[in-house]
């Protein structure tokens, strides 16, 4: 890039409304989404205040879109059909990536009694295909149709999440090996080609704005996934626990027989009941995570048809990098 002199006079022309709005809006929304369930949502003064801050921030951001000569981030780009489709798909891909990276260690720790290192090794498996495919990414961009590549990546991500719906209380890290490998391949295809599609779907002068919106959408998708998982995890686990308990009447001969058999081997008087409670908890937790993986599968399948809107990349162009 050619050297340019400082233009301090442009400071007064900057989109200060948009800059402040972006920081307040996204910052507040991220904290609300990630901490809302822990803080009991709007029962918390902190969450209410941050929600107001986020609302004010987005108002300032939209005001900057109207009044600034050069907005800090051009949200009008979202009105373009291809770019808007790319943003939606990138958000969902981030939801799957962040969601599974959060859910799998939680499941392994709660059900299989894995420690952080053991869970991390399983999650790390998805990075192996990414590393192996990295040297051939320029070739892939030149020879693969973007619709085929993104569509294949989305289907691989959906398939990887669907494989994980078959978990049981006996599942361990090996149950996630194949799904993590498929997820790594799918993430490579979607991340690589959606990034190129986002930048090339706008004019070269707006490429930086497109990259900014694309990265913001990915971060927002991750926050939405963590918030949704936190909500569903508590509520579905409670629901499954109650449903299981409804089938286990205290007067049931089967329950009484099991408690009597266990009580013969245990010294504590309530140890058998505690053991039964733990079995119910593990069963409910397993069904909850199966529900989460199923929901991720459905979500990514719903947006997969958007690949038909994408236009082929110009093979003669050199891939633009952020």
Choice among 65-69, 139-143, 314-318 with the minimum mean pLDDT:
314-318
Q: Is the pLDDT of residue 207 over 90?
A: no
Q: Predicted confidence band at 265 (pLDDT cuts at 50, 70, 90)?
A: low
* Domain residue ranges in the chain: 12-72, 77-233+288-322, 237-283
Pick the CATH number of 77-233+288-322 from 3.30.565.10, 1.10.3720.10, 1.10.10.10, 1.20.1250.20: 1.20.1250.20
Where does residue 308 rank: exposed (0-12), middle (13-18), buried (19+ CB within 10 A)?
Answer: exposed
Q: What is the pLDDT of residues 33-72, one digit of tens each?
A: 878 878 878 888 988 999 999 999 889 888 888 887 777 7
pLDDT for position 242: 87
pLDDT for position 181: 94
Cβ pair 153, 187 in contact under 8 A: yes
Nearest to 31, CA basis, from 53, 11, 56, 58: 53
Length of the chain, in residues: 322
Q: Is the pLDDT of residue 298 over 90?
A: yes
């Amino acid at each position: 890039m050619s050297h340019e002199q400082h233009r301090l006079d442009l400071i007064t022309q900057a989109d200060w409304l948009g800059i402040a709005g972006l920081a307040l809006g996204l910052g507040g929304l991220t904290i609300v989404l990630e901490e809302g369930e822990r803080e009991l949502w709007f029962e918390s003064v902190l969450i209410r205040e941050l929600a107001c801050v986020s609302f004010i921030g987005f108002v300032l951001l939209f005001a900057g879109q109207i009044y600034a000569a050069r907005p800090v981030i051009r949200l009008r780009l979202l009105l373009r059909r291809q770019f808007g489709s790319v943003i939606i798909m990138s958000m969902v891909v981030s939801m799957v990536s962040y969601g599974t990276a959060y859910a799998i260690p939680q499941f392994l720790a709660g059900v299989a009694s894995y420690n952080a290192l053991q869970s991390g090794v399983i999650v790390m498996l998805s990075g192996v295909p990414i590393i192996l495919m990295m040297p051939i990414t320029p070739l892939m961009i030149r020879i693969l149709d973007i619709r085929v590549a993104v569509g294949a990546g989305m289907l691989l991500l959906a398939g990887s999440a669907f494989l994980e719906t078959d978990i049981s209380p006996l599942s361990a890290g090996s149950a996630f090996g194949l799904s993590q490998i498929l997820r790594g391949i799918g993430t490579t295809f979607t991340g690589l080609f959606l990034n190129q599609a986002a930048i090339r779907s706008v004019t070269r002068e707006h490429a930086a704005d497109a990259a900014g919106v694309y990265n913001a959408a990915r971060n927002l998708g991750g926050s939405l996934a963590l918030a949704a998982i936190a909500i569903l995890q508590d509520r579905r686990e409670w629901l499954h626990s109650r449903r299981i308990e409804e089938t286990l009447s205290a007067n049931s001969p089967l329950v009484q027989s099991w408690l009597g058999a266990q009580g013969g081997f245990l010294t504590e008087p309530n140890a058998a009941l505690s053991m039964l409670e733990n079995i119910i908890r593990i069963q409910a937790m397993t069904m909850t995570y199966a529900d989460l993986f199923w929901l991720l599968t459905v979500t990514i399948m719903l947006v997969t048809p958007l690949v038909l809107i994408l236009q082929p990349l110009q093979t003669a162009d050199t891939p633009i990098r952020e």
